[in-house]
Amino acid sequence: MGRCRPPGGAARMTLWIVLNGTKRRIDLPSPSAEDQRQCLVDGVPVTFDACMLEPGVMSLVVEGRQYRCVLDGDAVIVGGRRSTFELDDPRSLAGRRRAGGGAAGPRPVKAPMPGRVVRVLVAPGDEVAEHQGVVVIEAMKMQNELKSPKAGRVVSVGIAVGDTVGSGDVLAVVE
């Protein structure tokens, strides 16, 4: 297998998983990708299919091999083998906090996924509290309110209602 770009253009979402101490980057396919069953693991295309069988139990097919995965706290049991993992989802508030670094200096509010801006909740010069809503984007028929990474003043807003944004685009900056 060679390294390539995600099928269908930019990845819909990037997750970071630490599995048994090794950090792996997983790029999930964009909603418009032809093949929704292909992701990139550390840049290498991997064909997969996943189905939640019951809460905490998932059927996972990777490159044609089927696995039954059972969540066990901070670990997953696959084939009787327990592996610890951490999931760093940039869409989660905790993930954004970890990715954002310290509170000093200007901090961007970035789009975690491609979508369309449906509301802009602040304007340049507005004072915002930490975790106050800044922008609402719609992706995959769900609205996501993106929050300020820190208390401060909004120094720029680079989008407007109706704009289409890509994953990682800077929507606003809070100083």
Amino acid 19: pLDDT: 76
Handedness of CA 70, 64, 10, 159 (dihedral sign): negative
Q: What angle do CA 82, 38, 8 make, to 5 degrees?
A: 150
d(CA 130, CA 156): 16
Count Cβ neighbours within 10 Å for each residue of 20-55 and write b for 16 or more, e otherwise.
Answer: eeeeeebbbbbeebeebebbbeeeebeebeeeeeee
pLDDT tens-digit profile, the chain (175 residues)? 333 344 444 446 777 777 777 888 888 776 666 666 788 888 888 888 888 888 888 898 888 899 998 888 777 888 888 887 777 666 665 555 555 555 567 888 888 888 899 999 999 999 999 989 999 999 878 888 999 988 999 999 999 999 999 887 889 999 9
Residue 117 pairs in a beta bridge with 137
